[in-house]
Structure 1
Amino acid sequence: MKYLNYCVYIVTNPKKTVLYIGVTNGLVRRLDEHLNNAGRPHTFAGRYWCHLLVHWELFANVQQAIAREKELKGWSRTKKDALVTAQNPEWRELNQEVGGF
């Protein structure tokens, strides 16, 4: 049986005014997709140039990852900002740390 890691992640735009929360089993691939869609209006992340990783969490189980994604999407912007700041106080772009870009 193949072991998969699932990831809940938050990307933002260069001005850090918009957040996108997603779940994936291939974070590097997904970040590349966000970068390739930057500026394209057919996706939310593309329309708002959200391709800069600022937070991620790993899960061994897809159901747990989906539940966490839904939880985070239900939070206020203030609470989401506090989560990112707690782990990444300077809101550094973490794409290179996970092998993207």
Structure 2
Amino acid sequence: MEILTVTAGVLHKEGKVLLAQRRNDTTPRSGKWEFPGGKLETGETVQQGLRRELHEELSIDAKTARFITEYIHHYPDRTIRLMAFHIEEFEGDIVLHSHQKMEWVALGDLA
């Protein structure tokens, strides 16, 4: 069974975290909210993949990335290994390339 490693960047600023809404298209998770990130490419470390994904999706360069947790979910055809990282420092102005909307959400408002 395929194991797919995916990264997620939990960007934190002034007591809030960034959530990004996927574009409305034909993919299964269309319109859903998520932490930015994505699949590793062949030969990448988790840190390299996270930084690449944040640059591709948001046009930012993460300066810090502290591991938070790992979550494993089993699907019938594959296993997803999600690795989440806390990002407090980044450079650049956020520009959405893969999402239709973003919001800074207070930690207490996450359900």
TM-score, normalised with respect to structure 1: 0.32
Higher radius of gyration, 1 or 2? 2
Q: Whose strand fraction is larger, Structure 1's or Structure 2's?
A: 2
Task: Name the structure, 1 or 2, with higher relative contact order (CA <8 Å, separation 6+).
Answer: 2
TM-score, normalised with respect to structure 2: 0.31
